[in-house]
Amino acid sequence: MAEFTRPRHGTVCWRELQTKDLEKAKEFYKELLGWNLQQSKISPVEYAEIHVGDNAQGGMMELNEGFGEGWEHIPSHWGTYIAVDDCDAAFEAVKANGGQVFCPPFEAPNVGKICMVADPAGAHFSMIEFTK
């Protein structure tokens, strides 16, 4: 069973594929890299965790209407998560330092608080405050 250790503040901690064809993506990455993909035990939606050895390294999920209005214009993409101690404070710091905001902090059930932002040059990333 994969172990999870809460990452330190500022650590790049998770990679996530949001894709319009989850089954095809799972097949592709299993064949290409030999990844062990397992349904998350904590996610209320279909979420394939990427397990490498004893560690969960990231996940894959379907990009669909659950993302809200305009979801069909979002391309399939990989995202990076950075661990923070306080998601609300980090979100405010992004705004104060010239970054862009795309999604304010929200609760991801059984995971923590997440926000989606970009640096002043437009590089997108997400920040996560884990509940564990």
Per-residue pLDDT tens over the stretch 7-48: 999 999 999 999 999 999 999 999 999 999 999 988 888 999
Closest CA to 25 of 75, 69, 70: 75
Tens of pLDDT, residues 101-125: 989 999 998 899 999 999 999 999 9
> Is the CB of residue 118 less than 8 Å from the CB of residue 96?
no
Domains and CATH numbers, the chain: 1-77 (3.10.180.10), 84-132 (3.10.180.10)
Whether the per-residue pLDDT at 3 is higher than 70: the answer is no
Give the pLDDT band (50/70/90) at residue 87: very high
Q: Of residues 56 and 23, which shows the higher confidence score?
A: 23
Would you state the torsion angle of the CA atoms of residues 115, 117, 119, 122, taken in this order, to the nearest 10 degrees?
A: 160
pLDDT given for residue 1 in this prediction: 44
pLDDT given for residue 4 in this prediction: 66
